[in-house]
Chains A and B, each alone.
Chain A
Amino acid sequence: MTSTSNPKSKYNVVGTSPIRHDVLGRVTGKAKYGVDLRLTGMLFGKTLRSPHAHARIRKIDTSKAEAHPGVRAVVTTSDMPIVNDEVADFGETMANYRLLAELCLANGKVLYKGHAVAAVAADDIHIAEEALDLIEVEYEVLPPVLTVQQAMAEGAPLLHEVMTTRDVAARFTRGTDTGVASNIASRIVFQGGDPEAAFKNSDVVVEREFNTKMVHQGYIEPHNETAFWAPDGHLTIWTSTQGAFGVRTQISKTLGLPEAHVKVIPMEVGGGFGGKIRSYMGPTAALLSKKTGRPVKIVMNRKEVFESSGPTSGSNMRAKIGANKDGKITAAEVYLAYEAGAYPGSPVAAGASTCLSPYNLENFFVEGLDVVVNKPQVSAYRAPGSPGAALAVETVIDEVAEKLGIDPIDFRLKNATKEGDRQVSGVVFPRIGCVEVEEAIKNSDHYNTPLEGKNRGRGTAMGWWFNGGNASTAMVTVNSDGTVGLVTGSVDLAGTRTAISMQVAEVLGITPDEIYPSVGDTDSIGWTGPSGGSRTTFSTGIAAIQATNLVLDEMKKRAALLWETQPDDVTFENNSFISNKNSEDTISFKDLAGKLMGTGGPVSASSTSNPTQVGSAFGGHICDVEVDTDTGKVTVLRYTALQDVGQAAHQSYCESQVQGGAVQGIGWALNEEYYYTDDGTMANSTFLDYRMPTTLDLPMIDTILVEVPNPGHPFGIRGVGEVPIVPPLAAVANAIADAIGVRLTELPMNPGSILAALKDKK
């Protein structure tokens, strides 16, 4: 493994760009993803899914399927133990275990097209598919609601007869029950000052309404789960998941098993972006395995991934912002209604909490509604909830700046939040890099290069994301040759094995390739939250650093033993243990590693982190576009993404995270959407028609890393992965407005909608 040095970094390892430990497996196809699993006696499962968006299940008759040769078992909701209401923080979203059980196998009603109704285990996948045709389901079709406006309309059909609206005060809280039956699952409000009065006294007020469509994370690898229910009642699940412990909890709760009886083995993951936190088929595969006594594997196809996994919300939003001629924002009002999909849990609270964070405001009112509709239940997607809300706020900000005749970045700088300012939720900002990012935009080559040419325009936008802390466990073991084993509970989505190893290497003064990292299963490592919330390199890194320090403490005792002195008299620096009493007594880490067996036995240590000083992140993007006004097609000419990454842990991974987020955001802005027909069918459930950008649709995404160290991490690391998807929607919209003089307020801004907007302009 080669390590590149980084003269900018004050560290030896942290801030460089070594090649990832798992690179050979990844590029040669040898890495084991969930789909690669083959077990002796394994059966193949397939899910029968609802052809209706909203219907009552009258009857399910599985007898013909059960009698079909080669079919070993069929399960429906009647095989699922009764699960009680229990709500918990589930990674980046809230979850109710009863509803998660219904999500896995519909109970009484189907709530979206693609909702799982039954599943079959058979000798091969062909037989399983044939058997699905033999399951007879009698539906009473009900009218679907497909948008938040439809769902909130007077007399709209209710998805959940027992559901009432809850008032919540903050993210990840359950709130108080209003007792009002409705499709609005919850309402969150943040307010401060007197926005009404402030708007009246403003020189400029801009208000716009926005509509966006449901979009998918678009990971390449489909969901997969394999279960084996052993005769002793212990269940093993193999799955490509972002978090093995969350899957263990979900499965133990839905199946009524003690957690210790469920072992989840995380396989490599081919993309998650928040969508692989929940288990969709684990309980089903487990029930099929219990019935057959054999391992059962279920893999989704692409259509199932689109229709039956967890995309992110479409929305209806309004943003109103006032300002004075001197460029000070007077007040802001934001209304967000987010589609939750079939079950409560849209990320609207996060949208409400984040969208005004780049601005220090006295007067504000933010309202967020979580609304159920007959579409798949949304899951987390990279800074969940924040990009949509940022589209609303950041385009209105741009328009206010335009009306005031102030440069949009100058306008933002005049109102920028700093350490000590309060978020709308009341939380006080610690050390943040909002101003630094905005100043970096102003100083960038991109922003200082004039954009010339017809129908071309430039847009900028900011974004903020909390970043997650959450608990992690890491175990560090010293090998006799001086290399180090590192086991964490963090699934590696993006090179975190290496980014965490680098922190261990930094502490020990060795190179990252002397660390051997692996990802543990739920029986072999302590509880670790999912790899999500931009937390893994930060939080699991802290656990690994702590464990490394424990190892060093023990090794100081061994050195003291060798030198017949006290451990307190031994220090560790520059990769060596040194006696404070006798300067000739020194021993390198590697040499001492070879003497452990003779000085008391092997050394390993485990540590858990649960950091509270999470470093949140600001990003700011600059986008240049050209619009073909004949066809409505937008070409992104140049794109620069700037971000406060704290101390960059791994330089090139930081850059590629920022690029990846920007690209997903550009796709969301321009062409991606769940295209629904009136009966609730997603008409474009293929990668052909769900138009994610390809490399041919994008310029090089330039990155500028702004490094404002996070005081909450020993090396100053912040989370990086999520915030880069926040600014692009608005940056692209602002660029299009600059190019053609029309402000589009609906996503996607595809050629058809641009043509329509141009026509309206005329």
Chain B
Amino acid sequence: MQAVNTYLRGGVALQDFEFLSPKTIEEAVSIKAAAGNKARALAGGTDVLVQLKVGRFDIDQLIDMKNIPELNELSFSESDGLTIGAAVPCYKIYEDPTVRSSYPCIVDSSELIGSIQIQGRASLGGNVVNSSPSGDSLPSLIALNGSAVIQGTSGTRSVPLEEFFTGPGRNVMTEDELLVSLNFPAPSKNSGAAFLRFIPRNEMDIAVANVASSVTLTADGKNFESARISIGAVGPTPYFAKDAGDLLAGQEVNDENIAKAAEAAKKYASPITDMRGTIEQRIHLVGVLTKRTLDIAIQRARG
């Protein structure tokens, strides 16, 4: 369909498609592999159904992923870390005691995606696959050194999320692949992370900029051992601002060093001016949010 007609339709009616509910990941992969771009995966549907309505893409099949056991897993162990199945909705994630105590940064993100109603459906897996530059969970998942477990016809692979996103709505998954789960290492001692989003309103808005910072401090809490900073809504994909985190490693925790990291994070930003914000404003906000997320992450690391 031509772009102009997408505009003219404006979406009253949903296009026709076949709705499939496979019970195994293998079955889902074979459907996806056969249909390619003419099939999309559905978890919460909070993005995909809207996109179908406005005619963002034409499909023949919608694959409901919610009946596949692996996609509903939510588990933690010291050895394997945290596994979040790709279809687990936000509310289950932020209500999970382990996530609340050990991954507050994931709670920061999943508690502000959409509204309470949306959080009852929307999954972090869907947020990852949708690969929007402004996706509200993405900086957190990158800062926490998460990886995506993907399954396709040639088997399963794990991709670090910092390498996952390739453009707006685009990622490394091939046409036959589906996201199974997200995996995060167990948090190290004296670590903490935080996520902040800037929006002009207080809810129900798309990020003008968003940032997540994760830090590990020395036992006395006075120095950074390591840090990871990720920024979103300021480029075609969320970015892993590697240099910004690296320059903190081994440094004293103080305002001056935090300001340096904030400046370094700003260098990664390559935003556009649009109805949500200007280039200047967005770059500036990356600095402000980096500083503020580092402050919270440090507090959390110090317990």
Chain A residues with a Cβ under 8 A of chain B: 46, 48-49, 51, 125-126, 129, 132-133, 299, 301-304, 630-633, 670-671, 675, 683-684, 688-689, 691, 693-694, 696-697, 750-752, 755-756
Contact = CB atoms under 8 A, between A and B. Distances in A.
A682 to B, nearest CB: 9
B285 A694 contact: no
B8 A693 contact: no
18 contacts: A48-B8, A51-B8, A126-B16, A132-B5, A299-B12, A631-B285, A631-B288, A633-B200, A683-B274, A689-B275, A691-B201, A696-B201, A697-B202, A751-B208, A751-B277, A756-B278, A756-B280, A756-B281
A684 B275 contact: yes
Contacts of B12: 46, 125, 129, 299, 301
B11 interface: yes
A749 B285 CA distance: 17
A125 B10 contact: no
B13 A125 contact: yes
A137 to B, nearest CB: 10
> Is chain A's interface secondary structure helix, strand, loop, or mixed overall?
mixed
Nearest to A132: B8
Contacts of B16: 126
A693 B200 CA distance: 10
Interface string B4-40: 1101111111001000000000000000000000000
A49 to B, nearest CB: 6
Nearest to A692: B201
Contact of A132 (B9, B200, B276): B9
B201 A697 contact: yes
Interface string B268-296: 00000011111011001100100000000
B277 A752 contact: yes
> Is chain B's interface secondary structure helix, strand, loop, or mixed overall?
loop
A304 B10 CA distance: 8
Given A133-B9, A751-B200, 8 more contacts: A126-B13, A129-B13, A302-B10, A633-B200, A675-B274, A696-B203, A752-B208, A752-B281
Contacts of B201: 671, 691, 693-694, 696-697
B205 interface: yes
A49 B116 CA distance: 35
B48 interface: no
Contacts of B10: 301-304
Contacts of B200: 633, 670-671, 691, 750-751
Count chain A CB atoms within 10 A of each CB in B8, B202, B204, B284 and give the residue with the most: B8
Contacts of B276: 689
B54 to A, nearest CB: 9
Nearest to A689: B275
A631 B203 contact: no
Given A691-B205, A750-B200, A133 B288 contact: no
B138 to A, nearest CB: 18
A688 B47 CA distance: 13
Nearest to B273: A752
Given A684-B275, A752-B278, A752-B281, A694 B204 contact: yes
Given A133-B8, A301-B12, A694 B203 contact: yes
Contacts of B281: 632, 751-752, 755-756
Nearest to B115: A694
B290 to A, nearest CB: 12
A138 to B, nearest CB: 13
Contacts of A304: 10
Contacts of B11: 301, 303
B63 interface: no
A129 B8 CA distance: 9
Among all A-B residue pairs, the 10 with the closest Cβ atoms = A675-B275, A303-B10, A684-B275, A752-B281, A696-B202, A683-B275, A630-B288, A126-B13, A301-B10, A696-B203
Interface in B194-223: 198, 200-206, 208
Nearest to A676: B275
A750 B198 CA distance: 12
Contacts of A303: 10-11
A304 B1 CA distance: 20
B117 to A, nearest CB: 14
Contacts of B206: 688-689
Contacts of A631: 198, 285, 288
Interface string B126-158: 000000000000000000000000000000000
B9 A129 contact: yes
A755 B284 contact: yes
Contacts of A755: 280-281, 284
Contacts of B4: 51
B111 to A, nearest CB: 14
A688 B205 contact: yes
A126 B12 CA distance: 8
A632 B278 CA distance: 13
A303 B12 CA distance: 10
Nearest to B204: A694
Count chain B CB atoms within 10 A of each CB in A51, A304, A670 and give the residue with the most: A51
Interface string B244-280: 0000000000000000000000000000001111101
Contacts of B285: 631
A135 B16 CA distance: 22
Nearest to B14: A126
Nearest to A748: B200
A750 B285 CA distance: 14
Contacts of B284: 755
Nearest to B3: A51
Contacts of B208: 751-752
A129 B12 CA distance: 8
A755 B208 CA distance: 14
A133 B205 contact: no
A689 B13 CA distance: 22
A299 B274 CA distance: 29
Nearest to A675: B275
